[in-house]
């Protein structure tokens, strides 16, 4: 192949999905000349599966991305069709924003943002080789023979590496939605020393809204009295589109069971490992045989299309079986499928080969982000892209790189899990993965992370001033939580809640902990004037769970002592006597930064940590 110099850049981002977009923007916005290489400009920020942003634990991640200076929340707010708060009936720690997005508009807006970003060039083409001098990155070679010279590379290839789409007996080399796959880069990644594994994900059919009987379905409206994803957005749309709820039934399950022999999941034609927490409908029917129905949500794909996404019914069954089973569902009896469901297999790397900065351990300045790291979900991908982009930027500036700990953000939990525990299946973030989830709420993401984003150079003056104003209002409000109210003044509000008259003054915080809503306290005593509802909600949560939050902070302080005990980079774990063989091998492979990370490695016991502590003292 004849080669030529396509251009000289500081950094090249391979891929333009949700990870690639955040990585490219982080690099360009912090002043580095960046090229984004994508197989198809039409696939930029494409929503290959669910046309939504957020969800349980994912809403927290989007707010964290926004707090650090990322773009996902801003873009999601602009393309909203509907927004809701999930888990309203549960505690504050697990409540999460979820927005239904206009799929085409989301892509268009993100593409426009990228095109209008200084220092960023977008180029359509396939990366076939990452060029190195044996130790560090020097460039990227495209299928056209163009060389993009650079100092840093971020690989964010999503599900495109050797992508293969499957439905029944039919299989085709393809990326999602008919986009071309990337068939050359995996070989090069293996040559660079990456361990490659095969993962699988899937998507349901899209049906024509004109052929759905919505009148028999349960409607789900959006909410207009909640905050948006981004602090840069002034409120949520007051006019929103509805979604609808329906269920599978015994007839649906009968058709699926009778055709399991034609399912590539069970016939052996799919070899990749699928997501445990987002199974296909045939997998649900087999794994949860005691259930006589499964919940489905009918969700609009956009304002300019009749396509409806059938959430909860992803499948890789043949098209004739899909048509029959979809038509057994209430409201879908006469539905016409516009795009059939399919499974997709793709190559991913072993995330244990990465540092907590998402840099590859064997090649300097080579970072990976998103589904190539074994994760599932737009939000998880965007978070990794943002961190990889920022760390590539910080390294080129010779500044301390950004490692967000588990007590600081869901993003910290996500990356720590990937580089410390690894994953043998597509990783999905859940609130249960975060041990400090009451502290890592979505309402306080900016308080936790904006200073970090500012220090890294990504949070601009507009974002920072909004954060400072919110912090000022919060501090003003929190002072009033300690205001003491005399017994006689308390009597009316206490009687309404069947409390007796106290024998001493009570604080506002005492009332909140007794279950009296802060809004009523505000009205009764004319407190918290000019404090916005979002700040008041945060104050109320902090006051209500004060004891639990304090225990969490104490636990964080204990954990920090282990995190502060750094492990030498040149330590030879294989020669440390007293360590079990499994612990030696795991520690040698992962090479943790500190004792805290070492203790979270699967296969390393507390006894092994005790041995390491003795070794460090010596």
Q: Which of 272, 598, 194 is nearest to 421 (CA)?
A: 598
Does domain 478-554 sit in CATH 1.10.3720.10? Answer: no
197 against 559, higher pLDDT:
197
Distance CA 327, CA 601 (A): 47
* In 88-246, alpha helices (H): 103-115, 185-191
Confidence category of residue 112, pLDDT binned at 50, 70, 90: very high
Average pLDDT over residues 359-375: 97
Distance CA 446, CA 536 (A): 15
| Region label for 515, one of left (φ > 0), alpha (ψ between -120 and 50) or beta (otherwise) | left
Q: At what angle do helices 378-396 and 445-456 cross, to 10 degrees?
A: 30
Q: Would you state the pLDDT for residue 458?
A: 98
Distance CA 339, CA 446 (A): 40
Strands in 342-349's sheet, in edge-to-edge order, are 170-173, 164-167, 342-349, 196-203
108 against 614, higher pLDDT:
108
513 Cβ contact partners less than 8 Å away, ≥ 6 residues apart? 543, 544, 546
Q: Which of 267-276, 318-327, 390-399, 448-457 has the lowest mean pLDDT?
A: 267-276
Class assignment of domain 564-617?
mainly alpha
Distance CA 242, CA 298 (A): 9
Q: What percent of the chain has pLDDT over 70?
A: 100
The string over 372-384, giving b where at least 16 C-beta atoms fall within 10 Å of a residue's C-beta and e elsewhere, is bbbbbbbbbbbbb
Distance CA 601, CA 598 (A): 6
Indicate whether 602 pLDDT > 80: yes
- What token pair was written down for 60? 């927290």
429: buried, middle or exposed (CB in 10 Å: 19+, 13-18, 0-12)?
buried
Contact 60, 436 (CB under 8 A): no
Q: Would you state the pLDDT for residue 114?
A: 98
Confidence category of residue 56, pLDDT binned at 50, 70, 90: very high
Indicate whether 266 pLDDT > 80: no
247-264 per-position pLDDT tens digit: 999 999 999 999 999 988
Q: Would you state the pLDDT for residue 560?
A: 86
For domain 206-342, give the fold.
Elongation Factor Tu (Ef-tu); domain 3 (2.40.30)
| Region label for 526, one of left (φ > 0), alpha (ψ between -120 and 50) or beta (otherwise) | left
232-245 per-position pLDDT tens digit: 999 999 999 999 99
Distance CA 436, CA 472 (A): 25
Contact 591, 584 (CB under 8 A): no
Indicate whether 431 pLDDT > 80: yes
Which residue has tokens 């269920």?
247
Q: Would you state the pLDDT for residue 456?
A: 98
Confidence category of residue 274, pLDDT binned at 50, 70, 90: confident
Strands in 80-86's sheet, in edge-to-edge order, are 52-54, 96-101, 80-86
Indicate whether 269 pLDDT > 80: no
| Region label for 540, one of left (φ > 0), alpha (ψ between -120 and 50) or beta (otherwise) | alpha
Phi first, then psi, for residue 371 (nearest 5°) are: -70, -20
Confidence category of residue 345, pLDDT binned at 50, 70, 90: very high
Q: Where do the domains of the chain lie?
A: 4-201+346-456, 206-342, 478-554, 564-617
Average pLDDT over residues 516-534: 93
Average pLDDT over residues 540-549: 94
Pairing of strands 366-368, 152-155: parallel
Share the mean pLDDT of the chain: 95
Q: Would you state the pLDDT for residue 271?
A: 74
Q: At what angle do helices 461-481 and 533-544 cross, to 10 degrees?
A: 50
304: buried, middle or exposed (CB in 10 Å: 19+, 13-18, 0-12)?
exposed
Indicate whether 618 pLDDT > 90: no
Q: Which of 79-83, 430-434, 558-562 has the lowest mean pLDDT?
A: 558-562
Residue 573 DSSP code: G
Contact 364, 338 (CB under 8 A): no
Indicate whether 156 pLDDT > 80: yes
Q: Which of 373, 374, 439, 383 is nearest to 406 (CA)?
A: 439
CB atoms within 10 A of CB 496: 11
Q: Which of 542, 545, 518, 544 is nearest to 532 (CA)?
A: 518
Distance CA 454, CA 544 (A): 30
137-149 per-position pLDDT tens digit: 999 999 999 999 9
The pTM (predicted TM-score) of the whole model is: 0.95
- What token pair was written down for 498? 């069947």
Q: Which of 360, 440, 327 is nearest to 190 (CA)?
A: 360
Confidence category of residue 561, pLDDT binned at 50, 70, 90: confident
Can you state the percent helix, strand and coil of the chain, rounding each to 5? 40, 20, 40
Confidence category of residue 294, pLDDT binned at 50, 70, 90: very high
Average pLDDT over residues 535-549: 94
Distance CA 567, CA 585 (A): 16
57-82 per-position pLDDT tens digit: 999 999 999 999 999 999 999 999 99
Pairing of strands 11-14, 152-155: parallel
Distance CA 291, CA 288 (A): 6
Half-sphere exposure of 419 (CA within 13 A, CB side): 28
Indicate whether 268 pLDDT > 90: no
Indicate whether 347 pLDDT > 80: yes
CB atoms within 10 A of CB 615: 15
Half-sphere exposure of 80 (CA within 13 A, CB side): 27
Q: What percent of the chain has pLDDT over 90?
A: 90
CB atoms within 10 A of CB 290: 5
Distance CA 100, CA 76 (A): 9
608-613: long-range contacts, CB 8 A cutoff, minimum separation 24 = 608/579, 608/580, 608/583, 609/562, 611/576, 611/578, 611/579, 612/567, 612/576, 612/579, 613/565
Q: Which of 386, 409, 364 is nearest to 156 (CA)?
A: 386
Distance CA 110, CA 200 (A): 26
Superfamily of the domain at 4-201+346-456: FAD/NAD(P)-binding domain (3.50.50.60)
Confidence category of residue 278, pLDDT binned at 50, 70, 90: confident
Confidence category of residue 291, pLDDT binned at 50, 70, 90: very high
Residue 255 DSSP code: H
377-397 per-position pLDDT tens digit: 999 999 999 999 999 999 999
396-427 per-position pLDDT tens digit: 999 999 999 999 999 999 999 999 999 999 99
DSSP 390-413: HHHHHHHTT-------TTT-HHHH
Q: At what angle do helices 378-396 and 18-29 cross, to 10 degrees?
A: 30
618 against 174, higher pLDDT:
174
Q: Write out 429-452 in H/E/C secondary structure.
A: CCHHHCCCCCCCCHHHHHHHHHHH
């Amino acid at each position: 192949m004849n080669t030529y110099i396509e251009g000289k850049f500081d950094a090249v981002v391979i891929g333009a999905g949700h990870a690639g977009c955040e990585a490219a923007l982080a690099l360009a916005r912090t002043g580095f000349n960046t090229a984004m290489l994508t197989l198809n400009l039409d696939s930029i920020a494409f929503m290959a599966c669910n046309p939504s942003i957020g969800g349980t634990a994912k809403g927290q991640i989007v707010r964290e991305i926004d707090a650090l200076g990322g773009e996902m929340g801003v873009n999601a707010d602009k393309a909203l069709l509907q927004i809701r708060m999930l888990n309203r009936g549960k505690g504050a720690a697990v409540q999460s924003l979820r927005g239904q997005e206009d799929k085409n508009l989301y892509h268009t807006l993100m593409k426009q943002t990228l095109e209008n970003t200084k220092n960023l060039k977008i180029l359509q083409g396939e990366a076939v080789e990452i060029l190195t001098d044996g130790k560090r990155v020097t460039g990227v070679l495209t299928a056209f023979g163009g060389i993009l010279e650079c100092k840093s590379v971020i690989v964010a290839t999503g599900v495109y590496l050797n992508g293969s789409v499957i439905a029944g007996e039919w299989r085709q080399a393809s990326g999602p939605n008919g986009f071309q796959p990337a068939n050359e880069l995996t070989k090069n990644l293996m040559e660079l020393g990456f361990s490659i594994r095969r993962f699988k994900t899937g998507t349901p059919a899209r049906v024509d809204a004109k052929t759905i009987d919505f009148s028999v379905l349960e409607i789900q409206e959006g909410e207009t009295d909640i905050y948006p994803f981004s602090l840069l957005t002034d409120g949520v749309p007051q006019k929103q589109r509805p979604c609808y709820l329906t269920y599978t039934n015994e007839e649906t399950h009968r058709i699926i069971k009778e055709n399991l022999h034609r399912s590539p999941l069970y016939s052996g034609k799919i070899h990749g490992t699928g997501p445990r927490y987002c199974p296909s409908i045939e997998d649900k029917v087999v794994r949860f045989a005691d259930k006589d129905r499964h919940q489905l949500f009918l969700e609009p794909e956009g304002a300019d299309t009749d396509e409806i996404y059938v959430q909860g019914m992803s499948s890789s069954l043949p098209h004739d079986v899909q048509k029959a089973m979809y038509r057994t569902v209430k409201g879908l009896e006469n539905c016409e499928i516009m795009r059939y469901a399919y499974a997709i297999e793709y190559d991913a790397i072993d995330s244990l080969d990465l540092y907590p900065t998402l840099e590859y351990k064997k090649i300097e300045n080579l970072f990976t982000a998103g589904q190539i790291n074994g994760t599932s979900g737009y939000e998880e991908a965007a978070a990794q892209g943002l961190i990889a982009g920022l760390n590539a930027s910080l390294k080129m500036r010779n500044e301390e790189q950004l490692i967000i700990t588990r007590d600081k953000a869901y993003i910290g939990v996500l990356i720590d899990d990937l580089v410390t525990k690894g994953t043998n299946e597509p990783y999905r973030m859940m609130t249960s993965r975060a041990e400090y989830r009451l502290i890592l709420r979505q309402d306080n993401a900016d308080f936790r992370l904006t200073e970090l984003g500012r220090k890294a150079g990504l949070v601009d003056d507009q974002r920072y001033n909004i954060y400072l104003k919110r912090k000022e209002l919060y501090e003003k409000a929190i002072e009033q939580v300690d205001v003491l109210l005399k017994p006689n003044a308390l009597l009316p509000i206490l009687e309404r809640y069947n409390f007796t008259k106290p024998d001493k003054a009570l604080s506002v915080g005492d009332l909140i902990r007794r279950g009296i809503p802060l809004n009523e306290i505000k009205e009764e005593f004319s407190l918290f004037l000019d404090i916005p509802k979002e700040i008041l909600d945060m104050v109320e949560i902090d006051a209500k769970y004060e004891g639990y939050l304090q225990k969490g902070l104490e636990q964080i302080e204990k954990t920090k002592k282990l995190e502060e005990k750094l492990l030498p980079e040149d330590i030879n774990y294989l020669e440390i006597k007293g360590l079990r063989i499994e612990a030696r091998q795991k520690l040698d492979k992962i090479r943790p930064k500190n004792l805290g990370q070492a203790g979270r490695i699967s296969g390393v016991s507390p006894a092994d940590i005790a041995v390491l502590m003795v070794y460090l003292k010596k």
